Amino acid sequence: MSPARFAVFVSGTGRHLENLAALAKRGELPGTPALCVSNKAGVAALDRAARAGIEALVLDPERALDAAAFSARAWSEVEARGIETVVLAGFLRKLLVPQRWSGRVVNIHPSLLPAFGGKGFYGERVHRAVLERGCQVSGCTVHLVDDEYDHGRILLQRWCAVEADDTPATLAARVFAEELVALPEALRRLWSAAPRG
């Protein structure tokens, strides 16, 4: 069984891309990051992809395409490269998932879904909402992607305590540490459960 070729879709720093590439290089992830897709030009993720030797594409940074047209273009690009799995890691553009990709698109979200998910809940907004609500725990969720924001079947969750003196930034850092463990572990589980040719 050959390792999965996967794409990572990004909109910002690309820290998950870098982590997954490092794990794959060390043989700690049974997959190969073969493509980085960004909907924004000039983001740090593109530099990280270049340093890791991963092909990078910038799709529709001017947002001229609607969700359907953008998604069709994205799937055309990944399918042309023999990609088996798509990972959304800080990707802030609506991506419609065709039936043929059902069960092969994964997202990482910085809260314990279904809490603090849905349209508009991303980045610092999530952590600020957690603190304003007075939650005692937070965490992250890796889930399969469908056509509803932060909705598909949950693959893995990890949690951490919310401290009394937390700010959105300090809570984000603690949650992100859990994300770095959760995403690769969810991918390992997904791939081990789905034999490939």
Given 16, 109, 127, 143, the catalytic residue: 109
Please report whether residue 103 resides in a domain. no
* % of the chain exceeding 90 in pLDDT: 88
Is 109 designated active site? yes
Please report whether residue 101 resides in a domain. no
pLDDT in tens, 97-146: 999 999 999 999 999 999 999 888 888 999 999 999 999 999 999 999 98
Please report whether residue 104 resides in a domain. no
Residue 35 pLDDT greater than 70, yes or no: yes
Residue ranges making up the domain that contains 156: 109-197
Tally the domains of the chain.
2
Is the bond preceding 114 in cis, omega lying within 30 degrees of 0?
Answer: yes
Dist CA 143 CA 127 (whole Å): 19
- Angle at Cα 5 formed by Cα 55 and Cα 112, nearest 5°? 100
pLDDT in tens, 2-17: 568 999 999 999 999 9
Under a CB-based contact definition with an 8 Å cutoff, are residues 21 and 100 in contact? no
CATH code at position 5: 3.40.50.170
pTM: 0.93
